[in-house]
Structure 1
């Protein structure tokens, strides 16, 4: 998502009116005017809302010379019918911080039972997704890993990779729905003789879209704050992490 966001130093760009296309149930597409930059759509089964970026992100200097960005969000209820305009100034709008947003998203996605039965009494009913929805799901994961070798931007215009030592990234889409995955591989000092790889499943076993929000940041944290698995289990020069 970061590659499509406005310049974080231009506050006004985060408040501009823009036209977005909303794909409604039944496959009908409709244009809606939105004040601000959309981030997510959440649907709790009767309480759908659009989550917008609440202005430009706050910035903080990082120890390695770059900047980190801290985003805040505001949710706008949609009501029973999709409005012609979505604005964050309504009285029902509510602000989110990152943790509140994660909590809202966790309650909005399907969950597996804590103790699933050994033999399911019925088989999965696969959801019906259009080609447009499938394409959008794949693109949303790909956007998470845009420009991994130039992910961070410093004030002097220089760039840095997502994580220290990450080089030569390769992002590939493999498999057909519902088994589509995005494979992200790269070279890294942890495994000089080969490549590290992370695979992101785009759909669950019923064919539903699995959000990959902040998947790139999770990868960075795994590389920077915890030891990747031993490379003794690498196969054909690739170690999965």
Structure 2
């Protein structure tokens, strides 16, 4: 298993690192003079939707946060955020059925999560309201902590832990084409060793937190590439169970993303245009059975006049979970408009995969 295949990332002290795979539900704990300890969680329930993975280092070990991939298609079943904590001695703690989808970061107290998005920048009072954050504690408990203001980050750096809050609504500045840019400022609220019952910056010695200090503190939790990646055999995810209705919804969602490629854009005068300049004669086909189903999108294009270009979209991930095809058509357009397709020398049987 290559480093690229496993996606290994390392956190913790260099003499006792925890090396976590992004692509497999496993971690390897190394200790000088001892055999590697392998920890895995192949049956962790993240729901029927594919997930993005974030690995973070903390004083208590490593955190892995799973967030369902986003989709604007209401027909798709939703996923379920989940997390695991891996202690340096190999103890594994799992958290499933979470509702919070935004990871603020880890501290010695646990992994801090937030449910809500940022408030309207034009409503100053909304940036001072009480928010509920969830702290997943390494021992297995999840605590709700009221926070006055909008949290931005949770950090543990240089022997001290703190929650970084937005210092009110962002300042705005006019930009070109009628747009606006937003400039955020932050305050840091120090935390003790015990998780507080609530956080109110006015009563906890809050201080200004500049961007450089923020970047320095965030580097502590950022994983690094291991100098010597593990060579252990991969431990794969358990396959999920999808109903026929869910499978049908997954395929139809991808097909809708590529509807009417030759008449994709509509002008005010009623005229239409293809997804990208030069795209003609599109053909969208479904091939393969779950979990190997793919949607093949092919068409003629000036880049390869002698044949057809083709893009294949995998409908499911390796565990059979649904992979939303959000903006897949726009990504195809961008690749074509920037002439990113590979050389025609790679074409086979009149088809160039892009």
TM-score calculated relative to the size of structure 2: 0.37
- What corresponds to 1:69 in structure 2? 182
In the alignment, is the contact (CA less than 8 A) between 1:71 and 1:98 conserved in 2? no
Further displaced range: 118-127 or 158-167:
118-127
Q: Which segment is superposed worse, 145-154 or 102-111? A: 102-111
Name the CA shift for 1:194/1:207 in 2 (closer, same or farther; >3 Å).
same
Residue 100 and residue 2 in structure 1: after superposition, are their counterparts in 2 closer, same or farther (change >3 A)?
farther
| Deviation by residue 1:42-64 (Cα, 9 ceiling, x = unmatched) | 99999999999999999999999
Distance between the aligned counterparts of 1:18 and 1:42, measured in 2? 18
CA shift digits 1:32-79 (9 cap, x unpaired): 999999999999999999999999999999999999999999999999
Higher strand residue share: 2
Q: Compared with structure 1, are the counterparts of its residues 214 and 2 closer, same or farther at alpha carbon in structure 2 (3 Å cutoff)? A: farther
Deviation at 1:228, TM superposition (A): 1.2
Q: Which of 311, 327, 331 is 1:214 aligned to?
A: 327
Say which of 78, 96, 100 aligns to 2:213: 100
Paired with 1:47 and 1:77, the residues of 2 have a C-alpha distance of 7
Unpaired runs of 5+ residues, structure 1, are none
Q: Are 2:287 and 2:294, in contact at CA under 8 Å, matched by a contact in 1?
A: yes
The structure that is helix-richer by fraction is 1
Distance 1:61 1:120, change over 3 A: same
Instruction: Verify the 8 A CA contact 2:115 2:133 in the aligned structure 1.
Output: no
Residues 151-206 of structure 1, C-alpha deviations (whole Å, 9 max, x = no match): 00001101000000000000000000000000000000000000000000000000
Structure 1 residue 122 displacement after superposition:
3.5
* Cα distance between partner residues in 2 of 1:89 and 1:146: 54
Aligned residues of 1:74 and 1:94 also touching (Cα < 8 A): yes
Q: Which moved more, 1:96-105 or 1:124-133?
A: 96-105
Distance change >3 Å, CA 122–CA 3, structure 1 → 2: closer
Bigger Rg, structure 1 or 2: 2
Distance 1:136 1:189 in 2: 34
Cα distance, 1:211 vs structure 2: 1.3
Alpha-carbon separation, structure 1, partners of 2:292 and 2:309: 21
Displacement, 1:81? 31
| CA drift at 1:146 | 0.1
Kindly report the root-mean-square deviation, in angstroms, between the aligned alpha carbons of the 2 structures.
Answer: 9.6
CA 1:184–1:86 in 2, change beyond 3 Å: closer, same or farther? Answer: farther
* TM-score normalized by the length of structure 1: 0.53
Aligned equivalents of 2:253, 2:213: Cα separation in 1: 21
Does structure 2 retain, via aligned residues, the 8 Å contact 1:6–1:13?
yes
Which piece of structure 1 moves more, 226-235 or 120-129?
A: 120-129
The number of equivalent residue pairs is 241
Paired with 1:55 and 1:193, the residues of 2 have a C-alpha distance of 59
Superposed displacement of residue 233, structure 1: 1.2
Task: Give 1:185-196 correspondences, 5 Å limit.
Answer: 185-196=298-309
Mean CA deviation greater in 94-103 or 120-129: 94-103
Range with bigger deviation, 201-210 or 226-235: 226-235
The residue that corresponds to 1:163 in the other structure is 276
Distance 1:21 1:66, change over 3 A: same
**Unaligned 5+ runs, structure 2:** 1-113
CA distance in 1, matches of 2:255, 2:133: 20
